[in-house]
Amino acid sequence: MSRREKIFKNEVSDEELFSFINELKKKKRKPEKVCVIMGGESEEREISLRSGEAVFNALLKKGYDVEKVVFPVDDLNYLKKFQSAFICLHGRYGEDGTVQGLLEIMKIPYTSPDPVLSAFFMDKVLVALSMAKILPQPKFEIARTKEEAIEKAKSFDLPFVVKPAFSGSSLGISLVKEKKDIEKSIDEAFRFSSRIIIEDFLDGPELTVGVFEKMVMGALEIIPHEDEIFSFHAKYRGKTSYIIPPENVSDDVVEEVLILSKKICDIFEVQGAVRLDFKLKNGKPFFLELNTIPGMTERSLLPKIALYRGISFEDFVEAILLNASLKIHRK
C-alpha cells in the first residue's frame, strides 16, 4: 500500500467505513415509500434530472418502492405519501435549504444537510467571510453593483476570477485574463446573483474531497483540458480527467485537504454525503466551497471517490437514503 493510500485510510479505515454502512442496513428500517426529488427551476435543472434518474434506478435495483417527483409540483400535499426523500435538486430551491425546510415542516426525513447549513454553504459571500476566520483564503472582494465591482477589480492583478455569490455548477464564473473582459465578466456574474465575488486566481491543481457523515473517504484531482478553471463546460461537456488518488500534488497536500475537510465538517456539524473543493497556489491548498447536494450519477465525483473505496454506486445511494433524517429538532 502506497503512502497516499494509507493517508486516505488513516482518515477513515475500510473497516470503519464498511462497518458504518453495514450497521445502517441492519439498524435502519427501510422506508416503505421513497421519493427522489429532482428537476427544479434553477439553471441546473438538466443536471438535477440526470442525478435523479441515476438515484431512482439505483434504488429500484435495491428493491425500494421509489417514485420520481419532478419539481415544481402542482400539489405539495402529494409528498405526504412518502416516508423518505432523496434530494437531487441542484442550485436554487434545492441546495439553498428551501426544499429541506419544506420537508422539515412536512416531517419527511430527507438526505442532505439541514436547511440552515444548506443556505449558508450556497452563499459564497457568507462562506468566504466566515472561512476567512478559520482557513487561509485567496484575496477577495464583494460587490453589489456593477460600478462597485469595476472599481474593486482594479486592485487585482490579472488574471483573476469573477463569480456570482449564489449559484452552482460553476455557472456565471469567469477567468479574467485581459482588462477588456472585466465588464463582460462582471455582467455575466450578475446574471446569476445580486452580489458577486472578485478573487485571486489560484493557478494550481484542483482537488475535491468526498465526505459521508463526517467520514472523509478520499480526494480526487480534477484536470480540465479545455479550460483553466473547472467551468460548467469542463464539468459537463468538455474533456476533463479525474485522477484518484491525486498525482500532481504532494502526499502532504493530500493529507492537508483531507484534514481540512474533516475540520470543516466537524465545525459546522455537516451531515449527509457532501463534497469539498480546494485549489492550490504555490503548493498551498485553499478552500473553495462545500457542495451539500453533489452530482449523483455514476460518473459524478463523489460516487467516483466512494467506488475507489470499494462502495458500489447502488450501495452508496442506499446508504445515503438509509441515513435520511429530520435535523432541525436536533439543533
**Residues involved in catalysis:** 44, 169, 236, 275, 277, 289, 291, 295
Closest CA relative to residue 167, chosen from 195, 140, 143: 195
Report d(CA 45, CA 252) in Å as an integer. 38
Q: Give the rounded distance of the alpha carbon of 188 from its chain centre.
A: 22
Q: Which three cell numbers stand for residue 264?
A: 470543516
Q: 71 in helix, strand or coil? A: strand
User: Cβ atoms within 10 A of the Cβ of 100, count?
Assistant: 29
Non-local CB neighbours of 92 within 8 Å, separated by 6+ positions: 40, 41, 42, 98, 166, 167, 168
